[in-house]
Structure 1
Amino acid sequence: MALDTPKVGEILTPGSSEEQARQEERVRASFFQTVRRALRSVPFMEDVVAAYYCALDPQTPAASRGILLAALAYFVLPMDVVPDFILGLGFTDDIAVLWAAFRAVRQNIRPRHYQRARETLGEMDR
Structure 2
Amino acid sequence: MSEGFSSRFSAEEMAAIRRSLRDEARFGADLMSLLKRVAKRIPFAEDLLAAYFCTRDPATPRRVRLTLLAALGYFVLPIDAIPDIMPIIGFSDDAAVMAAAIAAVAGSITPEHRQKAQDTLAGL
Structure 1 match to 2:91:
91
Distance 1:23 1:70 in 2: 14
Distance 2:72 2:66 in 1: 10
TM-score, normalised by the number of residues in structure 2: 0.78
Any runs of at least 4 consecutive aligned residues in structure 1 with deviations exceeding 6 A, and if so which?
Answer: none
Structure 2 match to 1:61:
61
Distance 1:6 1:98, change over 3 A: farther
When the two chains are superposed, the root-mean-square deviation of aligned CA atoms in Å is 2.6
Distance 1:23 1:92 in 2: 27
Structure 2 match to 1:102:
102
SS in 1 for 2:123: helix
**Residues 52 and 68 in structure 1, CA contact (< 8 A), matched pair in contact too:** yes
TM-score, normalised by the number of residues in structure 1: 0.77
1:88 maps to amino acid: I
1:64 maps to amino acid: V
Gaps of 5+ in 2: none
SS in 2 for 1:93: helix
Among all aligned residue pairs of Structure 1 and Structure 2, give the percentage whose two residues are the same amino acid. 42
- Deviation (angstroms), 1:42: 2.6
- Deviation (angstroms), 1:27: 2.8
Q: How many residues align?
A: 114
**Residues 21 and 27 in structure 2, CA contact (< 8 A), matched pair in contact too:** no
- Deviation (angstroms), 1:113: 0.6
Q: Render the CA deviation track for 1:79-115: whole Å, top value 9, x for unaligned.
A: 2111212222221110000000111111000111111
